[in-house]
Structure 1
């Protein structure tokens, strides 16, 4: 099998990087009419900054409100708006669902896409993938895109002013990257572009994990005080770039399949993607029978930054075994990434791993 690695055409990160937006779009010759989608709160934060940066580069801009769910209906609505505006570039600003929506809108409109994350809560910004949900917020499918974003621009000054929970959720998403990459490498599972993982992708995935352990806690302390430190820069890069390249060019496994299955329970909808992925990572490690020392290292990190390690931490403290069985069954549906594990996985295996992970988390926290 061929080895394959994919990545965004250009990645730019730093405090006040948004000031360079227009010049970066101009340098890449992406277009002169930019259609920006973001939710109302994000528009209040970035619209004037985006307008100023575009005007300084001689680029026209229009804006539309994203309604909160990356659903097929919302994607088509925004595509029609972009076409009415005569846009030749689609820009998504905000969190993972807004960014995934922008990528999907650009794909269906046959336009280049610029991604401006205002939080570092997932590894969505760099990927050639949109996670599609129903209008009710239940996972529906992965939309695999033919290419990665043309430009990913990350303003860490904006990210540092967001609630720290977003950064922590991003660390939860990034936490899975190395363990899922390792599982895919062991099983020789295909990565997103349909090839074997490269040494570069595997090492980026491992570096992602090592960066979280080294810098995660102090990055949280800095963001709680809304300042950008070197630790914040490194963790933002881990959450967005290292995790994005690592998962996409190495692969996903049990952790994300468990996340997808957990979205079928309404009780989990108040919790972020990365928070559920963090618990899914523990489930994966139990499922794989990894050494206790490795699991305790993950538990120690997760608890130190405030990531979920028990079912109660994701709203399932009183969940019935019947509901957990439904989660387990959803996790092993045909086509789910859990089948990238290097051994056959059944719903019974997943149910046992969920209960086992919850027990370890409770024990570690002293419950």
Structure 2
């Protein structure tokens, strides 16, 4: 099997870049459908409209319904056709990006992803995560190409809720450990091949950047400051993690995240927060050295990521309540099977309990 490396066609990151979205769109088409939340439109709608007017490009706005579901994708496909749009734009967060990418794929038009938060590595990927209308994970939709443009306005992102950027760090922290597992097992990645040294190197750079810049960025973000550390974390959360997970592969952390989606009490938690606990659980499954586990766990606590089941909203830790999570994580088509050893639901259940205990001990509750 060959190694495969993929990435977005163009990645732009800097202050006030949303002012240029009309110019970038003009290079791809004449009329765009812009998928955005109602709150997002109140904050950035006027800025986007001005950019389109300045560049004499048309834009149609539509509000996101809240889930990247098949019903939402089909609804937006019809809007693209009705308005004869030739470019798709997603402005906001991860589920908006995934929906925009899926719609662009089915309508065979280019797509621009313009995050207003840095909470996931979804922007750069040729992948959409499909959920039910109720928010339960259903499947991965693998796309033939990455976004045509990823546009990161760091001024906007630095002023977004701190919890979201921290959640992005949780999502990004999984990148190296999952790539490392896939490299050891020779697993097939989202890019359609084995892990190469370039992808593994980017995943490791993502890890190193998070460790070095994460705690400093957290302090700056608390006061809405866009420092060099914040810029580096935005890039790690988005570009390094995006390329790292896609060409480096997914393993235990994201599969355990998918398992956690079966619990209704976890639906209010951000993707990266659940992935972070999945990372901790994966490291327990791997039985890594205590020194490494404490090192990573200390970092998680320092930036404010959840490390216990209670912090994820899970009060019932009985076998009856948690075993469905473990069973879902081990689904035949999920990425837990990319680990370099065989994993079963019993192992996952026990690893989750131990991860929770390690987390409680670290924060002084055990």
DSSP 3-state at the match of 2:119: coil
- Residue 318 (structure 1) shift: 2.8
Structural mapping, 1:176-215, within 5 Å? 176-215=174-213
Unpaired runs of at least 5, structure 1? none
Match for residue 152 of structure 2? 154
Match for residue 19 of structure 1? 19
Match for residue 74 of structure 2? 76
- Partner Cα separation in structure 2 for residue 228 and residue 55 of structure 1: 28
Structural mapping, 1:1-367, within 5 Å? 1-26=1-26, 29-367=27-365
Note if contact 2:175-2:244 (Cα within 8 Å) is conserved in structure 1. Answer: yes
Deviations 1:47-96 (A, max 9, x none): 11111112222211110000111110011111111221110000000000
Note if contact 2:25-2:87 (Cα within 8 Å) is conserved in structure 1. Answer: no
- Partner Cα separation in structure 2 for residue 97 and residue 163 of structure 1: 17
DSSP 3-state at the match of 1:82: helix
DSSP 3-state at the match of 2:34: strand
- Partner Cα separation in structure 2 for residue 53 and residue 231 of structure 1: 29
- Residue 328 (structure 1) shift: 0.7
- Partner Cα separation in structure 2 for residue 197 and residue 55 of structure 1: 44
Deviations 1:297-329 (A, max 9, x none): 111111111101111110113332111111111
Deviations 1:109-133 (A, max 9, x none): 1110000000000000000000000
Note if contact 2:68-2:98 (Cα within 8 Å) is conserved in structure 1. Answer: yes
- Residue 225 (structure 1) shift: 1.3
- Partner Cα separation in structure 2 for residue 293 and residue 82 of structure 1: 53
Scaled by the length of structure 2, the TM-score of the pair is 0.98
Deviations 1:157-182 (A, max 9, x none): 00111110000000010010000000
Runs of 4+ in 1 over 4 A off after TM superposition: none
- Residue 5 (structure 1) shift: 0.4
Q: Over aligned residue pairs, what C-alpha RMSD do you find?
A: 0.9
- Partner Cα separation in structure 1 for residue 275 and residue 61 of structure 2: 32
Unpaired runs of at least 5, structure 2? none
- Residue 23 (structure 1) shift: 2.1
- Partner Cα separation in structure 1 for residue 361 and residue 260 of structure 2: 22
Count of aligned positions: 365
Note if contact 1:271-1:314 (Cα within 8 Å) is conserved in structure 2. Answer: yes
